[in-house]
Structure 1
Amino acid sequence: SAEVIGASNLSGVRHVVLVLSGKGGVGKSTVATQLALALRQAGKKVGILDVDLCGPSIPRMFRVQDSAVHQCDSGWVPVFVDQEKSISLMSIGFLLEKPDDAVVWRGPKKNALIKQFVTDVAWGDLDFLIVDTPPGTSDEHISTVEALRPYKPLGAILVTTPQEVAVGDVRRELTFCKKTGLRVLGIVENMSGFVCPHCSECTNVFSKGGGEELAKYAGVPFLGSVPLDPQLSQSLEEGRDFIREFPKSSAFPALLHIAQQVSDSASQRSS
């Protein structure tokens, strides 16, 4: 039955982390991608499940948008981004005829697809499965949580930017986590300064510290601030090798630190 397959497809997955944001444009997919790379750098095997049905950007970030998804006995085989098979992806982007096809579906069909994504992908052994979600708290989020919960304890990372507005949006996410019983691993403040490509000095374009204040207010860990590195953003836009360029970026130390905290927090919980 589907239940049995779902259980066996997720049985080799040690930790599941959902990446959430209150609104679009805060760089949630970038953070999910960078977190996966930082975890890999720390020797972990990572899968990314992209349940953002309307704007699947993960395949493009890893330059695998033309990959086809194959079937095996236990479901879909995820797409590997490297020879070592240390990062695997599953995204709606792989299933669309043309990458620009927008997915305009009603709720039930979306929910059915998400359930299928969660249970029908043969992930194999993973230390972390990172789930990149659409902005906000919609049906998709509830479907994702409901589909994963029977199999694994779930943690969530909330991504915000330093401005007040984004912080207000994250409050709603915190309420969502409370209501659905999602454990908040912490808050990441993204784009919390601009790193000059010439002299590498970091300037705060927006007010600083919104994420940290919010974490205090909510009583959840503040995982760190990730600066905006224009060179890294450009490498993404131009489809250059983001994976290779990431360790050289100014965002890298911050993400390595965040990955370490996520690892520690996840392993404390399962011990």
Structure 2
Amino acid sequence: MPVTREAVEAVLRQYTDPHLNQDPVSAGCVRSIEIQGERVSVQLELGYAAGLFRSGWAQTLAMAIEQLDGVSRADVQVDCVIKPHKAQDQVPALANVKNIIAVASGKGGVGKSTTAANLALALAREGARVGVLDADIYGPSQGIMFGIPEGTKPEIRDQKWFLPLEAHGVQLMSMAFLSDDKTPMVWRGPMVSGALLQLITQTAWKDLDYLVVDMPPGTGDIQLTLAQKVPVTGSVIVTTPQDLALLDAKKGVEMFRKVNIPVLGVVENMAVHICSNCGHAEHLFGEGGGERLADEYNVDLLASLPLSMAIRSQADAGKPTTIADPESQIAMIYQEVARTVGARISQSGQIIAQSMPNIVVSDD
């Protein structure tokens, strides 16, 4: 009995891609199935960066196809092709950037910048080209987290473009690079919004699959400007399980919904503290808060991370966990978050043909 394409597809349908929550056939990942006698070759294409997941996934599916009667050998090839996705209407695309991910929180101190840095580094480890824009103007910290020496300034090209700095394979731009560490930004809202838009539109990013924007905390003027003027593909909300933080995180979810930006999921930080002496687990900030928020707004709980000295000390030392200790359980959680965020974007809506951004002139 010769092997049929239907039989191969039936095998593939039994396996769910954990990031897409669908089997490869239903998710539209199958590019080709070739059958030559007893040999089967399958090509899959994932729309998200999955460098650390790809080969294991290919192996799992190949072994499953080899169980079919009449198959002596199966080869499965999995490629990752990241495409630009549509953002809000009326917002022109950003040159050289395919997808923009806003990392936001309702209040400060919940680990938003740490999450943004680890998400960016995890996406890069999965094989994507990634940039980080530190839009947290009043408390920019990405320079420290990426180990950029104090006083480093970006080069300027043609008196117009800032060239992003590079660290750990990620392109980086921050307001902190344009001012010095000691002087606080004493600015009013409109000045901040103007400076931020300049920073976003005048940075010469080099072919990014993802630009991670570390947003300032809150849901005010700056956040709205960003949401209305920058083509954000999706947002990640960061919170702690504390009731107060959750209250503010809800406002963040509501804000993104109002401006038609999909919420890709929630990351809960400081969910549990494990005593380094005795191993006792204690929920210092309450329990299950991120889960309740995710349920209430029907979004994914992407991760629940512990209150951990390592996460803090590694970020402070300029090497966040994802690269400081890449095989650790916490680093693996960040990799999972990165793949899931990429997968959600790939499912989020229409792909745009990116050649030249449309320039729209309006009267406002």
Give the aligned partner of residue 50 of structure 1: 134
Are the counterparts in 2 of residues 18 and 133 from structure 1 also a CA contact under 8 Å?
A: yes
Percent identity at matched positions?
Answer: 36
1:199 & 1:267 partners in 2: Cα distance? 43
> Which whole-Å deviations, capped at 9, do the CAs of 1:59-104 have from their partners, x for residues lacking one?
001110432111113611011003xxx30111010001x2121001
Counterpart Cα distance in 1 of 2:260 and 2:92:
20
Aligned mates of 2:185, 2:271 — CA distance in 1: 32
Q: Is residue 202 of structure 2 the alignment partner of residue 120 of structure 1? A: yes
Structure 2, unmatched stretches of 5+, are 1-90, 352-364
Number of corresponding residues: 257
Q: Distance in 1 between matches of 2:280 and 2:118?
A: 21
Q: How many angstroms apart in 2 are the aligned matches of 1:197 and 1:253?
A: 20
Aligned partner of 2:347 in structure 1 is 268
Q: Residues 19 and 32 of structure 1 are in contact (CA less than 8 Å); yes or no, is this contact kept in structure 2?
A: yes
Matched, 1:144 2:144: no
Specify which of 192, 197, 221 is matched with residue 110 of structure 1.
192
Give distance in 2, aligned partners of 1:36 and 1:58.
11
Alpha-carbon shift at residue 203 of structure 1 (Å): 4.3
- The within-5 A match list for 1:245-256 is 245-256=324-335
Query: Aligned with 1:247: secondary structure?
Result: coil
> Which SS does the other structure have where 1:49 is aligned?
strand
Bigger proportion of residues as helix: 1
Q: Post-superposition, which runs of at least 4 consecutive aligned residues in structure 1 deviate over 4 A? A: 195-203
Matched letter for residue 155 of structure 2: H
Q: Which residue of 2 aligns with 1:78?
A: 164
State the one-letter code of the partner of 1:95.
L
Provide the secondary structure at the position in 1 that maps to 2:128. Answer: coil
2:73 alignment partner in structure 1: none
Give the 3 Å change call, closer, same or farther, for CA 14–189 of structure 1 in structure 2: same
SS at match of 2:347: helix
Given that 2:114 and 2:315 are in contact with CA atoms closer than 8 Å, whether structure 1 keeps it comes out as no
Alpha carbons 2:227, 2:256 under 8 Å: kept: no
Q: Which residue of 1 aligns with 2:178?
A: 95
For 2:126 and 2:278, the matched residues in 1 are separated by 28
Counterpart of 1:33 in structure 2 is: 117
Q: TM-score, normalised by structure 2?
A: 0.66
- The alpha-carbon deviation at position 209 of structure 1 amounts to 1.2
Distance in 2, Cα, partners of 1:64 & 1:201: 36
Aligned to 1:3: none
Deviations 1:149-187 (A, max 9, x none): 3xxx52110001011111111111122112211111111
What letter is aligned with 1:168?
A: L
| Aligned residue in 2 for 1:235 | 314
1:178 partner amino acid: R
CA–CA distance in structure 2, aligned partners of residues 265 and 121 of structure 1: 26
Aligned partners of 2:162, 2:268: CA distance in 1, in Å? 34
**For 2:258 and 2:92, how far apart are their aligned partners in 1?**
24
Q: 2:215 aligns with which of 127, 130, 133?
A: 133
Output one character per residue of 1:39-60: Cα deviation in whole Å (capped at 9) or x when no partner: 1111111101111111000100
Q: Structure 1 counterpart of 2:223, which letter? A: H
CA distance in 1, matches of 2:333, 2:280: 15
Distance 1:157 1:34 in 2: 13
Match in the other structure for 1:159: 238
Q: Is the 8 A contact 1:195 1:230 kept in 2?
A: no
CA, structure 1 residues 197+244, in 2 after alignment: closer, same or farther (shift >3 Å)?
farther
Q: Which one scores higher on RCO, CA 8 angstroms, separation ≥ 6?
A: 1
CA 1:199–1:15: 2 relative to 1, 3 Å: farther
CA distance in 2, matches of 1:254, 1:266: 18
Change in Cα spacing, 1:267 to 1:91, as seen in structure 2 (3 Å) is: same
- Structure-1-length-normalised TM-score: 0.87
User: Which structure has the larger Rg over C-alpha atoms?
Assistant: 2
1:258 is aligned to: 337
